[in-house]
Structure 1
């Protein structure tokens, strides 16, 4: 019996070694469609200033496309990270249905917001 106790502890430790430590939630998908990205304006002008070249489309599964090419993203809980393609490394936070806000490299929310503007264009 004394010899079984170390084996049981070793088995328990091994099971923890394979458990994901950073898992925060289920993998999810963004709503398909065209997304327009903009910065907030000010009181003297437009409420939103669209950012040319930052728009993208969610095309299905975990895929997106831009005018520069296509790629993939991963969405876990409310966190979205673009993993391949022209937006690789961009991180966003899902604020609600069809609304995303960019997250800076420092982990703080940026000013850029992207919203779903409609269905996919052919």
Structure 2
């Protein structure tokens, strides 16, 4: 009986080693549509300054497209990571419906925000 208990405990421990340690939550999809990314402006000029090369469209499944090509993303909990394509490595945090903020290489939120500007064209 003790041997069976030890085997079950060892199997459970081995199974836990295959679970990703950095899991953020459930896998999901981002709302389809056109997304525009911008930095905040100031009181003397434009409220938002669009950033060239950062706009993207979320299309079917876990896919996106840009002017430079298509790619894939992983949406895990509130974090989105672009895994292939022109935006590979870019990470975003979901702030609310259609509002995202970039996560820098240091893990802190940057000033860049992306918002859903409308449906797919």
Counterpart mapping for 1:46-61 below 5 A? 46-61=46-61
Deviations along 1:68-113, whole A, 9 cap, x unmatched? 0000000111100000000000000011111110010000100111
User: Partners in 2 of 1:107 and 1:30 — Cα distance?
Assistant: 21
Deviation at 1:60, TM superposition (A): 1.4
Cα RMSD (Å) of the superposition?
Answer: 1.5
Aligned length: 121
1:118 and 1:21, CA in 2 relative to 1: closer, same or farther beyond 3 A? Answer: same
Q: Which moved more, 1:63-72 or 1:10-19?
A: 10-19
Q: Which runs of 5+ in 2 are unaligned?
A: none
1:17 and 1:43, CA in 2 relative to 1: closer, same or farther beyond 3 A? Answer: same
1:13 and 1:45, CA in 2 relative to 1: closer, same or farther beyond 3 A? Answer: same
User: Partners in 2 of 1:3 and 1:51 — Cα distance?
Assistant: 62
User: Partners in 2 of 1:35 and 1:5 — Cα distance?
Assistant: 53
User: Partners in 1 of 2:54 and 2:9 — Cα distance?
Assistant: 52
TM-score by length of structure 1 reads 0.90
TM-score by length of structure 2 reads 0.91
Contact 2:35 2:114 in 1 (8 A): yes
Counterpart mapping for 1:1-122 below 5 A? 1-121=1-121
Larger Rg: 1 or 2?
1
